[in-house]
Structure 1
């Protein structure tokens, strides 16, 4: 089985690159999500869930931009990817805050709701960012 996988990857080196790019995205996403959730939990001690989520999102956003740019997509900061990243995260934030409030409304609890949100939005965010960094960069 390993020989077959190796043969396929040798025929399609772009698949190998995409696979490792996705792995790097997962690592960056895990780090950024942990930062986001940690800040959320700290701010939740003194503020409501929406304010806490927004504070965590803002701190995670800054870390995420630099890690995504340098590590995931092996790029350099530019006005193009900063604008694309910011716009994608505006869409992502609106989706996340909506889902957070939905999960809170159905009784998921303030500690569980953001975790459920992150599980849903991570694949969506990868597709959006892939478009920003890869597709747009080819023009």
Structure 2
């Protein structure tokens, strides 16, 4: 699979992840305070995003190592978009309503490369690292 297809699949997973988060958030706010709804929806959508990224974007096997490293992509996104919004608004004078969109666009290549590195790093031969379907031999 070419990198171009991976980028397109990565973007599609991002759209699905955002829609999943927002739908869960709206559903959970019917019963929970908005902060609790946000945290739960964020965590659930990140787990879903991990599996979509693993199977759909990179067509690789999920492992515990990848699962535990995957949140780094969200952390990188947060740092880049936060710095980007600050730079665009306070330094460049851009309207704060549009700055997050540009900052998010700037974060996409970095989060793509980081997720690609996490997902495509060669796996170890230990089957116990797998999250799905394999049973370690006795």
TM-score, length of structure 2 as denominator length: 0.59
Instruction: Write out per-residue CA displacement over residues 73-97 of structure 1, whole angstroms, 9 at most, x where no aligned residue.
Output: 11001233222214434x258659x
Structure having the larger proportion of residues in helix: 1
Task: Give, in whole Å, the separation in 1 of the partners of 2:73 and 2:116.
Answer: 10
Matched with 1:65 is 50
Where do 5+ consecutive residues of structure 2 fail to align?
87-95, 124-138
- 1:7-86 to structure 2, matched below 5 A, reads 17-45=2-30, 46-48=32-34, 50-86=35-71
1:52, CA displacement in angstroms?
A: 2.5
Task: Give, in whole Å, the separation in 1 of the partners of 2:109 and 2:29.
Answer: 26
Where do 5+ consecutive residues of structure 1 fail to align?
1-15, 109-114
Q: In the comparison of the two structures, how many residue pairs are matched? A: 112
Residue 123 to residue 70, structure 1, CA distance change in 2 (3 Å) = same
- CA-atom RMSD, angstroms? 3.8
1:51, CA displacement in angstroms?
A: 2.5
